[in-house]
Amino acid sequence: MVTVLDADYVVVGAGAVGMAFTDALVDHADVTVALVDRRHGPGGHWLDAYPFVQLHQASAFYGVASTLLGGGRIQQDGPERGLHERATAPEIRDYYDRVLRDRLLATRRVTFHPGTEHSQVRPRPGARVVDTTYLSPMVPATTPPPFAVAAEASVVPVNRLADLGGAPSQYVVVGSGKTATDACVWLLGEGTDPDDICWIRPREPWMLNRAVVQPDPAVFIGMAADTMEAATVAATPDDLFLDLEDRGIMLRIDRAVTPTMAKTPTLATWELDLLRTIEHVVRLGHLERVEPGRLLLEHGEVSVARDAVVVHCAASGLPRRPPLPIWAPDAIRPQPIRSGFPCFGAALAGFVEATVDGDAEKNRLCPSSPFSDTPADWAAMQVLGGRAARAFSSDPAIRSWAGGVSLNLARVPPDRQGDADVVAATDRFTAAVGPGLARLAELAGIAQARR
Ligand SMILES: Cc1cc2nc3c(=O)[nH]c(=O)nc-3n(C[C@H](O)[C@H](O)[C@H](O)COP(=O)(O)OP(=O)(O)OC[C@H]3O[C@@H](n4cnc5c(N)ncnc54)[C@H](O)[C@@H]3O)c2cc1C
């Protein structure tokens, strides 16, 4: 049966994007929203997260605009002492429960419909659909392994790693992304001998040094300035990444191999040191089949222990799909606007939906930008994200809103505006951004913006 929902907006998906969009929309417009999700609660993929996952970035950059995630605290001990806190999965789930209850439902203008498929509901005439599923991530808990598994071979999703009940003589970690690095770091932290880990890395990843992606404008704008300065003189995308590595911005696990993957999650240097202790790395392309004692890959095969447990960390994560106009006649599809930050993009789209008239104008102010996969994509993401930031910042009301939102990692809080380090970083960025973006556009093979 299809139910007609009596609300101005039907938001499909109560993950990070649906929650950020709805929060900003109802904060700035007197409208009603029906929030629909097939899952039982808000939080999206965090409801299926593996037990040892944390945000890979600072908590302050994640969540909804009205409510800071965490306390804005700096870690006082441990290997990330001095860096901002990063929420765990239970903290994120608790945060979204509180935002739903205390911010959204408390307005009495939002209703939540858990356990509900999009196909089970219809908007009332004149209402708008907000489809937040276009760029939802694929995670191992809900995505089958992209390789065949013979009978008697032992393959588990990363979520099962913490409760295997008895250690095998070998772990085979499959994947090159953030989840695989989390699995390796967790195993090593639990005391697993690095020689008992075989790591299938179909591609080598570039990762951002977490120390330079911090809610501190001197640090963040300084990193952006370095990036633009490096871009200005880069001969190729690879050349750019190697320069960024020298500047302490990008990290790679094996300095003998030039990475081809640039989804660029953040990594701390203590994690990098641990990952480098794993020497049994298999670079024979994608895994195609697991048999007891044997792995068949695109470009060859390797022997493993007969009792080896293969850990599936090979879901594709953030999808590679072309950027679309966010506002279309059939639906609003929130996507990143400033490079690669889904929560800020969704909150910004919610604010603009609440305060700006006309879809053409909203799309002009908020062009979408894609996630990246390769170094050339990453250059494109910077160009499109940079152009988008220039477009929305040209509007005084949006600029003022964005300046007060901690999700906006480029903002300078009022108490830091005269700070000498911030001024110096901003001056460097201002000098380098024009030539840097122009060169990045050439490296990415995309047209120059008309002046
Ligand atoms: C392990 C991990 C760590 C990450 N860490 C960070 C970080 O530190 N910082 C950062 O900025 N980003 C991070 N990301 C990326 C970021 O979390 C995601 O991009 C973001 O959470 C995606 O939110 P979403 O709402 O698009 O997707 P989801 O969380 O997948 O939510 C989409 C929701 O839509 C629902 N849905 C889908 N289809 C339908 C349908 N047909 N009917 C009804 N409901 C439907 C789903 O049930 C789901 O709840 C991380 C991602 C992962 C996987």
Considering the domain architecture, whether residues 281 and 344 belong to the same structural domain is answered as: no
**299 and 335 together in one domain:** no
14 lines ligand 1 (CB under 6 A): yes
* Bridge partners for 138 per DSSP: 317
Chain centroid offset of residue 387 CA: 20
- Looking at the fold, whether 151 and 83 belong to one and the same domain comes out as no
CB-based contacts of 389, cutoff 8 Å, min separation 6: 337, 338, 410
pLDDT at 451 > cutoff 50: no
Residue 239 lies in a domain: no
Query: Which residue in this structure is represented by tokens 């929305």?
Result: 392
Rounded CA separation 384/374 (Å): 15
Give me the numbers of helices (H) and strands (E) for the chain, helices first please: 11, 18
Whether 378 is covered by a domain: the verdict is: no
Q: How far is the CA of 35 from the centre of ligand 1 (A)?
A: 15
Q: Is the pLDDT of residue 14 over 90?
A: yes
Say how many Å lie between the CA of residue 179 and the centre of ligand 1: 14
Whether residue 237 contacts residue 379, with contact meaning beta carbons closer than 8 Å, is answered with yes
| CATH number of the domain residue 327 falls in | 3.50.50.60
Indicate whether residue 45 lines ligand 1 (CB < 6 A).
Answer: yes
User: Quick check: 261 pLDDT over 80?
Assistant: yes
Whether residue 173 sits in one domain with residue 42:
no
326 and 271 in a single domain? The answer is no
Beta-carbon contacts of residue 159 (< 8 Å; ≥ 6 apart): 48, 49, 50, 51, 140, 141
Question: Tens digits of per-residue pLDDT, 347-394?
Answer: 999 999 999 999 999 999 999 999 999 999 999 999 999 999 999 999
Domain stop point among 336, 351, 372 = 372
Q: What is the pLDDT of residues 391-441, one digit of tens each?
A: 999 999 999 999 999 999 999 999 999 999 999 999 999 999 999 999 999
Tally the domains of the chain: 2
Look at residue 232 and tell me if it is in a domain: no
Domain assignment present for residue 296? The answer is: yes
Q: Is the pLDDT of residue 450 over 50?
A: no
Cα 64 to Cα 44: distance, rounded to the nearest angstrom: 14
> For residue 121, what pLDDT is reported?
97
Range of the domain at 341: 3-136+321-372
168 within some domain? yes
Instruction: Verify that 46 and 155 share a domain, yes or no.
Output: no
Q: In whole angstroms, what is the distance from residue 264 CA to residue 205 CA? A: 7
In a domain, 120, yes or no: yes
Asked, for residue 380, whether it belongs to a domain, the answer is no
Q: Strand pairing of 197-200 and 281-282?
A: parallel
Q: Are 147 and 288 in contact (CB under 8 A)?
A: yes
Same domain, 116 and 191: no
Distance 407 CA to ligand 1 centre (A): 16
Q: How far is CA 55 from CA 36, 156, 270, in A?
A: 24, 22, 16
Q: Are residues 278 and 165 both part of a single domain? A: yes
Length of the chain: 451
Read off the pLDDT of each residue in 53-70 and give the average, rounded to a whole number: 97
| Whether residues 144 and 277 fall in one domain | yes
- CA neighbor of 50 nearest in space, from 171, 242, 225, 181: 181
Q: Look at the block and give the residue holding tokens 């170094």.
A: 375
pLDDT in the model for residue 284? 97
CA of 17 to the centre of ligand 1 (A): 7
d(CA 425, CA 416) in angstroms, rounded, equals: 12
Among 372, 396, 411, identify where a domain stops: 372
- Which of the four pLDDT bands, split at 50, 70 and 90, describes residue 316? confident
Let me know: does 250 contact 244? Beta carbons within 8 Å: yes
Looking at the fold, whether 26 and 104 belong to one and the same domain comes out as yes
Of 352, 372, 392, which one is at a domain's C-terminal end? 372
Is 428 inside any structural domain? no
Same-domain check for residues 329 and 277: no
Q: Is 341 in the pocket of ligand 1 (CB under 6 A)?
A: yes
Contact between residue 57 and residue 210 where contact means Cβ atoms under 8 Å apart: yes
Q: With a 6 A CB cut-off, is 15 part of the ligand 1 pocket?
A: yes
By alpha-carbon position, which residue is closest to atom 23 of ligand 1?
A: 16
Domain match, 34 and 162 both: no
Residue closest via CA to ligand 1's atom 36 equals 13
